[in-house]
Structure formats: structure tokens, C-alpha cells
Amino acid sequence: MDLSWSEDEKGFRREARAWLETNLAEWRDELAGPVLSGDTPEGFAQHLRWERRLFAGRWAAVSWAPHHGGRGASLWEWLLFEEEYHRAGAPMRVTQNGVFLLAPSVYEFGTAAQRDGILPRVANADDLWCQGWSEPNAGSDLASLTSAARRVDGGWVLDGQKTWTTRGAFCTHLFGLFRTVAGSTRHHGLSYLLVPLDTPGVTVRGFGRLDGDEGFAEVFFDQAFLADEAVPGGVVLGEPGNGWAVAMATAGSERGLTLRSPGRFLATANRLAGLLAERGGGDAVLRRRVADAWMKAEAYQLHTLRAVTFLAAGEQAGPEASLSKLWWSELDVELHETALDLLGPDAERDGPWSRGWQFSLSGPIYAGTNEVQRNIAAERLLGLPRR
């Protein structure tokens, strides 16, 4: 694994840094007010303006093909862009479910018509996608889902309910798993469907989180007719009845490097080190905790570079994504808890470190709980027997 950057890659980093500095300043000036949470209606609208600025600069999906809205950058260059993005303090990507979760699966399982029809509209934020997997009785145990789709002439009829749908109230489309083979159980007989949320029979109901934001939604399907041509290239991603394989690929993107690149944690670790210096160095225990968290962020970057080396050699991401998910989710909590301990009584409930800590607590739960990830690592990586 070569850890040095080429002159072209260094130039790519400089170009990204310069663009981000200029455009972030312009975007913030245009807002004429504070940057709001992207999990509120007003904040989501603010962030959409940023997303369209990213697209105009060809930075919305840097590693995609140019005719899909990207710039054909390598995975290494994508990592550099991510580092610069988080170093600059750029906003959360409200298109992340489409860009980082759905799109890799469209590239892997979609037809040419689906790739050409779906991806450009994801890149320019015309279509905003949410993930429809969790159900009231199927969260971490995704294979127990009961939402169903019945084949009829010209499409599918959908019934059921999805919940905990992140930013579902603000999105236009949903990708989700539905049981399409009557009488099937567990991960058999499922299909991965692409659903416009304005389909008659689909009801989206937003609800608030404990932190006061409104980023979740329930989605109900009541005899909703999903026409085959509702999405360019067709509404089934992959083969009908084989949705589990597509979903596991999406889960790999969610748990591994695609959604949570090391740039995010390196930037947080550097801000933590800055906070330590600002507070006068803290005591010996706190200094050690800051150093430990910073080294773990650096180690996560090295782990990711190793993973990208394998991907660049044509290998596929597999159950190793569970290790990445365990790593970044627990590191995020550690970084923020250390910051709050450094701040002590100065930690404000609505301050950036406090809000970051509140969000970090969800990390060991979403994208498959860490208990599930440990089971995957034990059984599929270590070969331990299933109990």
C-alpha cells in the first residue's frame, strides 16, 4: 500500500480546497442567517441550495462518470475530497442516502437505463431518496419485514409500513425491501423496489426526534399501485425476489467507507486537539484521552486506505464493512464525550459538541446495531459457530 500522494492527487486536493473555501463563504452569505439543521424543513431547504452548488461545481459525486454528474475521479481522489470537505466544515449532505447508499447499488445491480435515468437526477438533487427498510417489527432483524408487493398487470401493489425513515418527510423517493413472494420467509422472496413518494396510496408522516429535529418519518403503503415505468429503467433494482443481495450491498456502503469516510473523524479529532489547546491542556487523563481518540481517527484512515487498496484491485467489500461500522460509530462517541469532559460546566446543551454528541449516540444503533455487526464479524470473519 503506497501512502504517498502523486502530484496530480495533490493538485486535486488544492483544487477542492480552493473551491470549498470560496463557495462555502458565498453560500453562507446567501443564507443571510444561521445555518440550520438539515433535519428541519427550513434547514433542509438551505442544504439543498448547497447541494445544487456542489453539482454545478461537479463536486456532488466526484467518483461518478461525468455523464452521470460526476467528474470521473478515483477512489483515492474521492478520499482527498472528503478530507477537504470535512476540514472546511462543510454541511451535512442531505442527499447522502441517494449519493452514498443507493447509487453504489445502482452501479452494481442496475441496468444501463436505470443508471442513466436515476444517477444524474440524484447528483443534481432533483430526486431525493430515503431508505425504507426498518418496520415497526423489523429493525435490526431486517429479514423479518412484512411489507409486501403483489405483481399485477403493469406494476406492483404495495401494502405495509416503513418507519425511522431518515429525512423521509423531505424526500421525493424511497428505496426499500418488500416481500414479493407469498409465503416466503426471512431473506427469501424479497425485492428491492424504487418508489416515488407521490404515488397514490403512499402516505408520509413525519415525526420529531428527542433532540427536537423532525428528521424521521413513517411511510404507509395502502394498496399503492407502483407502475413499472414510475422510475427510469424500471422500479425493481436487481432481480425480483433477490432483493436481499442488493440490500446487503447497500448495507455494506452504509456501514463501510462510503457513508462514513475517515475525513469526517480526522476533522473532528483535529478540532478536539484544538479544543484541548484552547482549554489550557487539561489534566493528564484528559490529555491521554484526546491523544487516544486522535490516534484512533488516524488508524481508521489507514484502515480505510487498506480497504480502498483492495477495492482498487477489483476486490468486493464484504463483511469487513462491519468492522468499519464498529470503528467509526464508537470512535464518534469517544471523540464527543472527551470534548464534553474537556468543556465541563461550559458544555452547552445546544452547542456544536453537545449536538454532535447527541447524534453520535445513534451511531451504534443505525446502519445495523453494533451487536449485529459483532455477530457478523464473529461468524463470517472469525468463523465462530452461530448460537
Neighbours of 144 (CB within 10 A): 13
117 burial level (CB within 10 Å; 0-12, 13-18, 19+): middle
Neighbours of 178 (CB within 10 A): 26
User: DSSP label at 101?
Assistant: I
Question: How far is the C-alpha of 123 from the C-alpha of 129, rounded, in Å?
Answer: 11
Neighbours of 226 (CB within 10 A): 25
Q: For residue 370, how many C-alpha atoms fall within 13 Å in the half-sphere facing its CB?
A: 15
Question: How far is the C-alpha of 162 from the C-alpha of 204, rounded, in Å?
Answer: 10
Q: Which three cell numbers stand for residue 130?
A: 430515503
Give the helix/strand (H/E) hosting 159: strand 155-162
229 burial level (CB within 10 Å; 0-12, 13-18, 19+): exposed
Query: Dihedrals φ, ψ of 66, to 5°?
Result: -55, -40
Question: How far is the C-alpha of 240 from the C-alpha of 95, rounded, in Å?
Answer: 26
Neighbours of 222 (CB within 10 A): 13
Active-site residue, 229 included: no
* Catalytic residue of the set 254, 278, 337, 371: 254
Any idea which residues carry the catalytic annotation?
254
